[in-house]
Structure 1
Amino acid sequence: MTACADDSKPAPEPAPVLVSFDDGWGQIFVANADGSGLRQITPTVADDMSDGRYGNFAALSPDGKQLAYTRGGRSIDVITLESGEATTVHEGGYQPVYSPDGSSIAFTSSDGISIMNADGSDARVVSSEGSGAKFSPDGSRLIFNVDGYLVEAPTTGGASKVVLRDQFWNSDPAYSPDGSTLVFSSNRGGNNGSEIYSMPAGGGEITRLTATYAVHPQFSPDGSRIFYSRATTQSGELVVDVSTSNRSELASMKPDGSDQKRFLPRSITAQYPSIGGGAGTTG
């Protein structure tokens, strides 16, 4: 009897974890999660939004193959990273973010918080107020900022729920991949600026993660790191008072706030990180 050959194929390697960001001057970049492989994705433009190609608020798809961003401050474009092909999927929106399965994009507009299919079809309003939405890990809810409160609403529409409301300005909410933790920026530190904090997703004690000005926290896909924007002087010193800063850079830290380190060389201005690609250790 002849033995049958094993036709099973090894599982494909997961896509590398990528980090996207904008430089604050209209260009969007992507790098590997270890800081290598830095490349510019959108064209070099004049340093103001009068250039219709001005790009910011970049958002990587979960598989790391596409990148949505705000172009010219008024439209949402999607770029396929391998080919460089770009398509406008929605006019009149900004701050796009992909759902965990990549099928939908949420965004901010004059109507509030909306959601659409990833190709731009079936756009619909989820909340008539708010900005800076992020999906829950299961994709069923959106969390966002409304006048300094953190509010959550079902992606299918319906009643919203206040997650955090106090005397401070809270913004930039994002859930950990397992849904257990919520990170956000807040001015509760008493400085002229914000720091990054965490709290249990169901409510509870708030923990301060950064001692200096920092915003825009985003978890890596495996939950091992938090990437964020922080303010520095031109010489690279971290600042508490945002009015003394000269530039923004990306950094990462462990979820407990330890091991804070610069993500890219000091010469590279960077803000609004987004993470996409396969899960894995990000260093």
Structure 2
Amino acid sequence: MTIQTKISRSPKASKQTFVYSRRRRGVRISAQHVARIEKRDHLFNAKQERHMIPYRRLVLWTSVSALLLILMARAEAQTITLEQLMSSPFPSELIASKRGDKVAWVFYSQGKRNIFVAEAPALAARQLTHHDLEDGQDVTQIVFSANGNTIAYVRGGNKNQNGEVANPTSDTAGAKQEVWTVDVRSGRMTRIAEGNSPLFSPNSDEVEYLRDGHIWGAPVAGGKERKLFEARGAVNSPEWSPDGSELAFSSARGDHSFIAIYNPRSNHLRFLSPTVDRDIAPRWSPDGKRIAFIRLPNVSDTFSMDHERLQPWSIQVVDASSGNGKEIWHSGNTDNDSFALYVGARRLGPHLFDLIRRRSINGVDAGRF
């Protein structure tokens, strides 16, 4: 039961009594009793104050810490410059040699792109190329020779619709997309020629590359270039057979493309399972007897503002000698199955036979393939 009280001095001070109000009824009490009540209230308030001290200290400590963190963050923010942010280093284009005893990558630091290499067993990283000017030119498409002694790479970006390569520094000499080689041991860099998509010949003494829809070759140490062959269409995705006797590639011809094989000894071209579809990204089987590639069926170019063109695709495996083969897997017909949305040829192509061997494409049974 709650008792509300009101204490006031009696009009007759000589009696030293107080009026105690309880439930609207007045009761007179002595001064000693009032003193005891006041002492009890004082002790209660003091006890409350003692309990509040730790909480007040915690609030004060938290406020001071937050203020210090804000001041420190502002001080650190003032020490970071835009130049430091723009020159943040990062690696890319990681590759390994055929024997697995070397790894190489492109390292971007302070606006400069250079190739680094590490060799077993120490695997200590060291800078291989020395492109020391901050000219904004990319270094991409690095590849080891078969013997692991040379690395080929592309310096400069792709051409735009006007046939121009990006020139961020407005260099009066212009900018070009060029193939370079670098000796892994000495670090000697050699400019080969304009082009892209480098690969090495089977004996590692020549580097091949693409330019203007043709495939060219030049000595690794530099020298006169030569066109490997003349053929209709644009050459894409070239790859030597495991024994180095033949070169497979995709021949693009506008709305369709073929998978072709070039034999240097006979200087002859042959086409594998040609259709009116677009066949891309050929890859040799480890034994060199079969070729896997991606087939993109021809579809009408019907676009809308809110829907991209659906592009089904399939994986084909053909006999490299006879050209006969079959489809071993195909995509669905929904938006999520479209080739452009699902995966690109550059990513999937090198792993076609790995996927087939592991039978990991939607549980497909690749059988003897």
Q: Tell which deviates more after alignment, 171-180 or 130-139.
A: 171-180
Q: 1:122 aligns with which of 178, 184, 188?
A: 188
Alignment equivalent of 1:112, drawn from 178, 185, 196: 178
Separation in 2, partners of 1:66, 1:227: 28
**Aligned position for 2:30:** none
Q: Secondary structure at the match of 2:268?
A: coil
From the superposition, tell whether residues 179 and 67 of structure 1 become closer, same or farther in structure 2 (CA, over 3 Å): same
1:149 to 202, 206, 214: 214
Which residue number in structure 1 is paired with residue 281 of structure 2? 216
| Partner amino acid, structure 1, of 2:149 | S
CA separation in 1, counterparts of 2:350 and 2:126?
19
Aligned to 1:239: 297
Deviation of residue 241 (structure 1)? Answer: 5.2
Counterpart of 1:192 in 2: which secondary structure?
coil
Taking a change above 3 Å as real, the CA distance of residues 157 and 88 of structure 1, as seen in their structure-2 partners, is closer
- Mind listing any 5+ residue stretches in structure 1 that lack a counterpart? 1-50, 232-237, 276-280
Question: Which structure 2 residues correspond to residues 12-23 of structure 1 after superposition, within 5 A?
Answer: none
Q: State which drifts further: 195-204 or 62-71.
A: 62-71
Who is 1:196 aligned against?
Answer: 259
Residues of 1 paired with 2:127 and 2:330: CA distance? 30
2:183 partner amino acid: N
Deviates more, 1:63-72 or 1:136-145: 63-72
SS in 2 for 1:158: coil
- The alignment's TM-score, normalised by the length of structure 1, stands at 0.57
Equivalent position of 1:185 in the other structure: 250
Q: Which amino acid aligns with 1:239?
A: P
Whichever structure has more helix as a proportion of its residues is 2
What's 1:175 paired with? 240
Corresponding letter in the other structure for 2:143:
V
Instruction: Give the alignment of 1:257-276 within 5 angstroms.
Output: 257=323, 258-259=325-326, 261=328, 269-272=343-346, 273-274=349-350
Q: Deviations over 1:73-100 (max 9, x none)?
A: x6657699xxx99987657411111101
Q: Find the counterpart in structure 2 of residue 45 from structure 1.
A: none
Asked if the contact 2:272–2:320 (Cα under 8 Å) also holds between the matched residues in 1, the reply is no
2:97 maps to a residue whose letter is S
Distance 1:215 1:54 in 2: 29
User: How many residues matched?
Assistant: 216
Deviation for aligned residue 1:222: 3.6
Q: Is the 8 A contact 2:202 2:244 kept in 1?
A: yes
Superposed CA offset, 1:29-55 (max 9, x none): xxxxxxxxxxxxxxxxxxxxxx98696
Note if contact 1:176-1:223 (Cα within 8 Å) is conserved in structure 2: yes
- C-alpha deviation, 1:209, in angstroms: 4.5
- Encode CA deviations 1:190-233: one digit per residue, 9 max, x unaligned: x51433211212421332356442333343454244354x26xx
- Cα RMSD for the two superposed structures: 4.5
2:258/2:271 contact within 8 Å kept: no
Secondary structure at 1:216's aligned position in 2? Answer: strand
CA distance in structure 2 between the aligned counterparts of 1:118 and 1:245, rounded to whole angstroms? 45
**Aligned pair 1:102/2:148, yes or no?**
yes
Q: Distance in 1 between matches of 2:237 and 2:258?
A: 11
Larger Rg: 2
Q: Retained in 2: the 8 A contact 1:76–1:94?
A: no
- Partner residue of 1:42? none
Q: Is the Cα–Cα contact under 8 Å of residues 70 and 95 in structure 1 kept in the other structure?
A: no
Q: Residue type matched to 2:142 in 1?
A: P
Q: Aligned-pair distance for 1:172?
A: 2.3
Return the alpha-carbon distance in structure 2 between the equivalents of residues 173 and 242 of structure 1.
28
- CA shift for structure 1 position 259: 4.9
- Structure of greater relative contact order (alpha carbons < 8 Å, 6+ residues apart): 1
Distance 1:146 1:217 in 2: 19
Alignment of 1:62-141 (within 5 A): 62-64=98-100, 92-110=138-156, 112-118=178-184, 121-126=187-192, 128-141=193-206
Q: State, as a whole percentage, how many aligned pairs show the same letter.
A: 22
Identify the structure with the greater strand proportion: 1
TM-score, with structure 2 as normaliser: 0.46
- Determine which of 261, 264, 269 is the counterpart of 1:205: 269
Partner of 1:234: none
Counterpart secondary structure, 1:159 = coil
